[in-house]
Amino acid sequence: MRAVKQAFIWCLGGVLLWSLQSCQDKDLYDKPTDPEKPSKEDYFDFSINSDVQLNIDYGFSNYHVVFEVYPENPLTEDQYGNAIKTTEEPLLRAYTDNNGKYDNGITIPAYLENVYLYSDYIGTISPVKLSVSSDGVISYNQKAYIAGMSSAGTRGTTGNNRSYPDGYLVLGDWDAKGRPDYLKESRYDVPANFVNAIKKYFDNAGDDPYGSGFPGLHPHLFGANADMDIHVIKDTEVNLVMLHSGAAYHNTVGYYTYPTNTPPTSRDDIKNPVIAFPRITATWQTGDNTPGAFYGDQVQLKYWNAATGTFENKFPAGTSIGWFIISDATNNANRNVMDNVTGGSTKATFYSTSADFAYYSQANEFLVGDQYKQRVAGLLYDQDTKHLISLTFEDRMSKTLTNNYYDAGFFVHIVEANAIDPLPELPPGNGGDDPVYTSYRGRLAFEDMWPEKGDYDMNDMVIDYESKQYTAFGSYNLVKIVDTFTPIHNGAKYTNGFGYQLMGRFTENGKPVDRFVEASAIKSITIEPKEYTSKFMKGNTLEPGQSSPTIVLFDDLKDVLAKGIQFTVTTELSGNGVYDRYARPPYNPFVIIETGNGRGREVHMVNYPPTSLADMSLFGTKNDESDPEQGLYYVSSLDYPFALLCPNGFRWPVESTPISEAYPKFSKWVESNGTQEQNWYNSPTAGKVQ
């Protein structure tokens, strides 16, 4: 920070009339007489963003995950407890590597102290609130997170403190979160292809229960004659492993058995149902609602021998296993499991005509339209050993509510090979292979009097941009960029043009690093509208004579605004070595001043380099204090910018109003080198902005 900044802020702030007169008497925009050569570190870069390191470890094996990072919790609840995801674009959307890890930089607003990590992939806890450390690092280790969440609460004694419905059995006790004390010690390492296959299967099914969704695509799973039970043909142990929950309800999941040759024909025929997981709820619940089960938690199911009145470890041949879910059964106050009798409540209107809300894989009484619908879907996975079966539940069903069967997801581990009758086969799933994109948006504001100070109203050219950057499956490599530039205001008398260089700025070892995309990495560029081009492009999609890829979109802002033109640039990349941070929006944008007088007078953001065609003789003249030998560009003697990157909601100052008047907190932000008043742009002065 240059020492003269205090005088600059005092002068521009307009605090006292006599101080304004003093500023007029002595032009504080003149270059200082300080004999020291300034360096980059002496100047504030005017960035509203921070480049931080993001370290994610989901702890998976052979499993790519698509995740998103948001500035606020992306989920809210509707009146029925459904999770509603925001339509706002995340700060980042990306793939992890093959082991569920991501280690890369991310750009976030500088004022953020926390972010939210979100993923809808099976096995992920989501969303998770993460802190930004003082040294600019965001870290998440799911195994450690689960360990911390799972240790919460105290043990209870079921016989004394936890009640459950008459006619049900339990495998043991559970704590204040509904977490069983009979969980197996080790977590199950779920095969990635199995999880991917389940997700693909249900994602492709849709959520329309009336024809085009589940019944239409998978009638063997959701129709009236669907058989979702497991028929044991060889004595075997059976484990039930938690995969995922997306429901806000506090559901109870369990099983029951019957002789295979005498299946139940009504609910009255279902005897001694056993509660396996007392409380399954969405992993995004926190506080008192922290989930009672997490991905990989496993319970060994026990066979109830009615003759002896005891549990046995193995299910005997000739026995079938059915399943049930009791919708929203766990009492929030004491974690007792209820049979959920609500009579004529709203629930009954939406879900069922029955008095309780226990839904079984057989003898269901829920009718949608003219068809009975299953609440349970079981799918065979391992075609050779018949070890793994998916098991997913829907805790509600109606015309208006989402029916995605993600409310409780498990897999059943059949310990003995070939111990059950075959079930419908689950097609293989190898994970996603499509690119994912992150959308960046912002507003660029320029002062066009450079290298003179101008009136510092930052409204000579204002442009909105939105950039969608597509990264390849399981990598940080860019494969496509779609940029949209929308000119929205002209406050200049000059005829000015606009362009940008494909460049990324990121932090490395605490210092900013600029990296340009190599021209050889660009497969193609398409600029729309094709009929409107800059004379400097000479009919090409990249400006000739540049050492780095440069695109000039227009030469006359007035004409573009009059015609209402919006520019879209689609850049196809090789994807080999073009890391996302090498082309991070808004890249290196610039204004060409007085295009009728040539090409050389460019204005860029602070410390962003000029292009190869800029007139270097202008640097260090008038009010500019650039030093090209040090890579120091577009800085002034009083640390004010000639170009600003702002959020989309930024309102530019009225003509001839300095930005420090239009935004009173701006000066404090500058004076503090960006450590204070980081959201200064949210507090304009009435009547001073447009």
- pLDDT, tens digit (0-9, with 9 covering 90-100), for 605-633: 999 999 999 999 999 999 999 999 888 99
Query: Measuring CA to CA, which residue among 644, 641, 460, 425 is closest to residue 561?
Result: 460
Percent of the chain whose pLDDT exceeds 90: 50
pLDDT of residue 357: 67
Summarize pLDDT for 556-592 with one digit per residue, the tens. Answer: 999 999 999 999 999 999 877 788 989 999 999 999 9
Calculate Rg over the CA atoms of the chain: 32
Query: What is the distance between the alpha carbons of residues 124 and 85, in angstroms, rounded to a whole number?
Result: 16
Which range is least confidently modeled, 88-97, 151-160, 355-364, 461-470? 151-160
Joined tokens for residue 250: 């506090």
- Exposure string (b/e) for 518-538, b if CB count within 10 Å is 16 or more? eeebbeebebeeeeebbebbe
pLDDT of residue 111: 95
Residue reference for tokens 């050492």: 547
Query: What is the distance between the alpha carbons of residues 411 and 297, in angstroms, rounded to a whole number?
Result: 11
Query: What is the distance between the alpha carbons of residues 534 and 513, in angstroms, rounded to a whole number?
Result: 30
Please give the DSSP secondary-structure letter assigned to residue 609: P
pLDDT reading at 338 higher than 80: no
CATH no., domain 49-149: 2.60.40
pLDDT of residue 571: 97
Could you tell me how far CA 112 lies from the centroid of its own chain? 15
**What single string gives the DSSP state of each residue in 313-330?**
SSBPTTEEEEEEEETT-B
pLDDT reading at 390 higher than 70: yes
Which range is least confidently modeled, 237-241, 270-274, 478-482, 500-504? 270-274
- Written as one letter, the residue type at 599 is R
Domain boundaries, the chain: 49-149, 167-414, 435-652
Query: Measuring CA to CA, which residue among 394, 362, 360 is closest to residue 245?
Result: 394
- Written as one letter, the residue type at 162 is R
Across-strand partners of 49?
A: 109
Query: What is the distance between the alpha carbons of residues 469 and 480, in angstroms, rounded to a whole number?
Result: 6
Joined tokens for residue 472: 């390849």
Please give the DSSP secondary-structure letter assigned to residue 31: P
pLDDT average, residue stretch 234-253: 88
Name the range with the highest mean pLDDT among 157-171, 430-444, 448-462.
448-462
Joined tokens for residue 576: 């080999």
Joined tokens for residue 14: 């307009």
Q: Specify the higher pLDDT residue, 638 or 168.
A: 168
Terminal C-alpha separation, the chain: 30
pTM equals 0.80
Joined tokens for residue 159: 């016989």
pLDDT reading at 148 higher than 80: no
- Exposure string (b/e) for 374-385, b if CB count within 10 Å is 16 or more? bbbbbbbbbeee
Joined tokens for residue 246: 């997306």
Q: Specify the higher pLDDT residue, 455 or 37.
A: 455
pLDDT average, residue stretch 235-242: 95
Mean pLDDT across the chain, nearest whole number? 81
pLDDT of residue 306: 93
pLDDT average, residue stretch 407-425: 84
pLDDT of residue 472: 86
Query: What is the distance between the alpha carbons of residues 463 and 567, in angstroms, rounded to a whole number?
Result: 11
Which range is least confidently modeled, 33-37, 61-65, 120-124, 454-458? 33-37
Query: Measuring CA to CA, which residue among 185, 180, 156, 160 is closest to residue 170?
Result: 180
**Bridge-based pairing state of the strands 478-490 and 92-95:** unpaired
- Written as one letter, the residue type at 659 is I
Query: What is the distance between the alpha carbons of residues 42 and 2, in angstroms, rounded to a whole number?
Result: 6
pLDDT average, residue stretch 164-174: 85
Query: What is the distance between the alpha carbons of residues 440 and 411, in angstroms, rounded to a whole number?
Result: 38
pLDDT of residue 80: 63
Up-side HSE of residue 346: CA atoms within 13 Å toward CB? 3
Question: CA angle, 235 as apex, 234 and 237 as ends, to 5°?
Answer: 125
pLDDT of residue 512: 85
pLDDT reading at 155 higher than 80: no
Up-side HSE of residue 649: CA atoms within 13 Å toward CB? 6
Query: What is the distance between the alpha carbons of residues 6 and 11, in angstroms, rounded to a whole number?
Result: 9
Percent of the chain whose pLDDT exceeds 70: 77
pLDDT of residue 8: 38
Q: Are 148 and 128 in contact (CB under 8 A)?
A: no
Joined tokens for residue 415: 């310990």
pLDDT reading at 316 higher than 80: yes
Question: CA angle, 638 as apex, 636 and 641 as ends, to 5°?
Answer: 50
Which range is least confidently modeled, 96-100, 144-148, 522-526? 144-148
Q: Are 42 and 1 in contact (CB under 8 A)?
A: yes
Q: Are 390 and 198 in contact (CB under 8 A)?
A: yes
3-state secondary structure of 47: coil
pLDDT average, residue stretch 338-352: 37
Q: Are 326 and 358 in contact (CB under 8 A)?
A: yes
Summarize pLDDT for 78-123 with one digit per residue, the tens. Answer: 766 667 889 999 999 999 988 899 999 999 999 999 999 999 888 8
Name the range with the highest mean pLDDT among 258-267, 436-445, 502-511.
436-445
Query: What is the distance between the alpha carbons of residues 402 and 376, in angstroms, rounded to a whole number?
Result: 15
User: Exposure of 593 by Cβ count < 10 A (0-12 exposed, 13-18 middle, 19+ buried)?
Assistant: buried
**Residue positions counted in the chain:** 690
pLDDT reading at 58 higher than 80: yes
Contacts of 405 (CB under 8 A, 6+ apart): 202, 214, 377, 392, 393, 394
pLDDT of residue 105: 92
**What single string gives the DSSP state of each residue in 218-253?**
-HHHHSTT----EEBSS-B-EEEEEEE---SS-EEE
| 598 φψ region: left (φ > 0), alpha (ψ -120 to 50), beta (else) | left
pLDDT of residue 375: 63
pLDDT average, residue stretch 464-476: 91
3-state secondary structure of 435: coil
Residue reference for tokens 């058995």: 257
Residue 300: band (very low, low, confident or very high) from pLDDT cuts 50, 70, 90: very high
Which range is least confidently modeled, 379-393, 395-409, 534-548, 552-566? 395-409
Joined tokens for residue 138: 């965001």
Which range is least confidently modeled, 112-116, 129-133, 346-350, 452-456? 346-350
Helices (H), 444-515: none
Across-strand partners of 257?
A: 321
pLDDT of residue 160: 38
Residue reference for tokens 């929950």: 245
pLDDT of residue 16: 31
pLDDT average, residue stretch 495-516: 92
Residue reference for tokens 């005498």: 262
Query: What is the distance between the alpha carbons of residues 604 and 446, in angstroms, rounded to a whole number?
Result: 8
**Bridge-based pairing state of the strands 114-118 and 83-85:** unpaired
User: Exposure of 449 by Cβ count < 10 A (0-12 exposed, 13-18 middle, 19+ buried)?
Assistant: middle
pLDDT of residue 343: 32
Q: Are 95 and 65 in contact (CB under 8 A)?
A: yes
pLDDT reading at 668 higher than 90: yes
pLDDT reading at 427 higher than 90: no
Summarize pLDDT for 15-57 with one digit per residue, the tens. Answer: 333 333 333 333 333 444 454 666 777 788 999 999 999 999 9
pLDDT reading at 500 higher than 70: yes
Query: What is the distance between the alpha carbons of residues 127 and 91, in angstroms, rounded to a whole number?
Result: 14
pLDDT of residue 60: 85
pLDDT of residue 120: 84
Joined tokens for residue 552: 């000039």
Query: What is the distance between the alpha carbons of residues 486 and 529, in angstroms, rounded to a whole number?
Result: 12
